[in-house]
A and B are shown apart, each in its own frame.
Chain A
Amino acid sequence: MNPLEHRYRILLALYPADHRAIYQEEMIGVLMEGTSPGQRYPRPREAVNLVSAALWRRLGGTAGYLTDPRWAPAAAVFGLLGSLLMLVAGSYSILEYAFLNQWMIPEGAGPGYHPGYGAEFWYAVLPVAAWVVPIVATVVGWRLLAATVALGLVAWDGVWFAWVVGKSAAITPPYSLVWLTLGITTVAALWVPTARQSVRRQLGWRRIGLLVGAAGLLAATSYLEYLQGNYKVIPVAGIRFSAWSLPLAVVAVGFIGYVVFRLEAGTRRRVLALVAPTLVLLIVIGYDVFGINQGWRLQPSIADISGEDMGVRGWGEVVTLLAVPLVTFAIAVVAVRQREHTLRLVELGRERERKAAADPPREDGVPPS
């Protein structure tokens, strides 16, 4: 073996074993055929290409699979859906201030008295209304504006969260993580480059209207609860619904389900993969998986655990909650890949059957040319 071949083999050793077993000898042949007389070392461009290709291959098909162009339309649709749901989440807090605060009026207060809005209202609650901007911008087709504003809103939420934790050493309930997960996923989806006016082209005005209607119904559920006062609580995934609000929420989820179901199959699978992290985290917290509500330091109803009391266990719980969405997304991406791999094999088999039917073997046993 000459020194150049040896050096190529060192570079090829960066590939995973399964790839080397199939392609190494063939690649050596190709690389050696492309060498110049007297060449002793791999060319720099060639070496960089081999190293990067090997590392990319080692990252696995999953990472590479995220570059599949079918993610773009899914990201566009999810960008709109996520922004709408973030606005719904914000509307709960805004309604709480608008109506609940009215009930806190002390006895004897004169007409026109208002308890006033604290810093939380101006700095944390009201800005959430700005999710209207990403929603409109996504529909109009100004993706960069939508992505920038959404990133600003989620970053601002993070700053506010850090300020609250720093000021009062309090940890917000795990439910905050559900909205944070949705916010981050939405921002990531909005930053994916898509075709111009992708949402309008995929959904059309009617289905966009259904999504907006679904968001309106979900926002109305909290309004109804505040109006009703004493209602029979029906918990779903830890969220309290009343006999009035639950049907509305079911209809809203039905609208969203219909819109997602009508998407092209590849897009639909990817939208579901993007929804999965938030949904699974909601279920994990709401249905007390891992005993979060029973024995955890971070109980959903407790917002004032001091940082000193957190301990290793408390931070372990935080890490677990943060890991749930990440692991869920990884599993969802692998599931999409497996499903599409199976469908491709089926398509391949059918193609061969069609070919065999159109070009049957001759009776003398000689295959057709």
Chain B
Amino acid sequence: MREPAFLVLTALVDEPRHGYAVIQEVQRISDGQVRLQAGTLYGVLERLRNEGLIEVDREEVVQSRLRRYYRITALGATRLARETERLRKRADLAASRLRKLALGGGAA
């Protein structure tokens, strides 16, 4: 799973969000490091929908414009949990090696 898809799924875990709210939430949870562009966002949303990882929650019209809210599916939550576990193992491994490096006096 690539970073944009991971972040979009994470942004949808706590509540359904519409496109612009997803962009803002991704920016917030990435500490401002990732600002998704509309083209990238809708590429990811379309793929996640096709894979059944997210689905449309509801549609609204706000100021004459369509707003579509997306929510994560059970399959999406499972896939996100699996990916999180995979990343955690890698991070733990990296942290453990860095600790050994620091203990050995190799760290700058």
Residue positions of A touching B, CB distance < 8 A: 19, 22-23, 25-34, 45-46, 49-54, 56-57, 341, 344-345, 347-348, 351-352, 355
Q: With A29-B66, A344-B51 given, is the CB distance from A49 to B20 under 8 Å? A: no
Q: Are B51 and A26 in contact (CB under 8 A)?
A: no
Is A50's CB under 8 angstroms from B38's CB? yes
CB of B75 within 8 Å of the partner chain: yes
A268 to chain B, nearest CB (A): 20
Given contacts A53-B43, A345-B52, A351-B52, could you give 8 more A-B pairs where the C-beta distance is less than 8 Å?
A: A23-B45, A26-B67, A30-B18, A341-B50, A344-B52, A351-B73, A351-B75, A355-B74
CB within 8 A of A30: which of B41, B50, B78? B41
Cβ of A351 and Cβ of B19 under 8 Å apart?
A: no
By a CB distance below 8 angstroms, the chain A residues around B73 are 348, 351
12 residue pairs bridging A and B, Cβ less than 8 Å apart: A19-B42, A29-B66, A30-B20, A30-B23, A45-B37, A49-B37, A50-B37, A52-B39, A53-B39, A57-B43, A347-B52, A351-B78
Per-position binary interface string of chain B over residues 58-86, scored 1 when its CB falls under 8 Å from any chain A CB and 0 otherwise: 00001001111000011100100000000
Residues of chain A with a CB closer than 8 A to B23's CB: 30, 34
Q: Which residue of B lies closest to A30 (CB)?
A: B19
B46 contacts the other chain (CB 8 A) = yes
Q: How far does the Cβ of A146 sit from chain B's closest Cβ, in whole Å?
A: 26
Interface residues on B, range: 20 to 34
Contact assessment for B75 and A348 in the assembled complex, using a CB-CB cutoff below 8 Å: yes
Q: Is the CB of A49 within 8 A of B38?
A: yes
User: Looking at chain B's contact residues, is the secondary structure mostly helix, strand, loop, or mixed?
Assistant: helix
Which of A19, A22, A23, A355 has the most chain B CB atoms closer than 10 A to its own CB? A23
Asked if B40 CB lies within 8 Å of chain A CBs, one says: yes
Given A34-B20, A344-B52, A27:B42 Cβ within 8 A: yes
Residue in A closest to B43 when the chains form the complex, CB atoms: A53
A25 to B64, CA, bound (A): 10
Q: Is the CB of A351 within 8 A of B39?
A: no
| Residue from B42, B50, B52, B68 with most neighbouring chain A CB atoms (10 Å) | B42
Nearest 6 CB-CB pairs, A to B?
Answer: A53-B39, A29-B65, A49-B37, A348-B52, A30-B19, A49-B39
How far apart sit A254 and B33, CA to CA, in the bound complex (Å)? Answer: 52
Most chain A CB within a 10 A radius of its CB, from B18, B45, B66? B66
B-side contacts of A32, CB under 8 Å: 65
| CA distance in complex: A205, B19 (Å) | 49
For the complex formed, measure the closest distance between the CB of B29 and the CB atoms of chain A, giving whole angstroms.
18
Q: Is the CB of A29 within 8 A of B37?
A: no
Residues of B near A53 (CB, < 8 A) are: 37, 39-40, 42-43
Q: Considering the complex, give the chain A residue whose CB is closest to the CB of B59.
A: A26
Q: Which residues of A lie under 8 Å from residue B39 when comparing CB positions?
A: 46, 49-54
- A27 — which chain B residues lie within 8 A by C-beta? 19, 38, 42
User: Could you tell me if B46 and A29 are in contact, using CB atoms closer than 8 angstroms?
Assistant: no
Q: Which B-chain residue is minimally distant from A340 (CB atoms)?
A: B51
Question: Would A25 and B65 count as touching, CB distance under 8 A?
Answer: yes
Q: Which of A28, A46, A344 contacts B37 (CB 8 A)?
A: A46
Asked if B38 contacts A46 (CB within 8 A), the reply is yes
The residues of A that contact B42 with a CB separation of less than 8 Å are 19, 23, 26-27, 53
A361–chain B nearest beta-carbon distance, Å: 17
B102 to chain A, nearest CB (A): 25
Chain B residues closer than 8 Å to A30, beta-carbon distance: 18-20, 23, 38, 41
Whole-angstrom distance between the alpha carbons of A123 and B19 in the complex?
61
Residue of A30, A45, A50, A345 contacting most chain B CB atoms (<10 Å): A30
Residue of B nearest to A358 (CB): B74
Name the one of A26, A45, A57, A347 contacting B68, with C-beta atoms under 8 angstroms: A26
CB of A29 within 8 A of CB of B19, answer yes
Whether B46 pairs with A19 at a CB distance below 8 angstroms is: yes
Residues in B neighbouring A347, C-beta threshold 8 A: 52, 75
Are B65 and A28 touching (Cβ within 8 A)?
Answer: yes
Query: CA separation between A49 and B41, bound complex, in Å?
Result: 10
Kindly list chain B residues whose C-beta atoms are within 8 Å of the C-beta of A46.
Answer: 37-39
Chain B residues with Cβ below 8 Å from A22 are 46
Residues of B within 8 A of A29 (CB): 19-20, 62, 65-67
Q: Which residues of A contact B46 (CB under 8 A)?
A: 19, 22-23
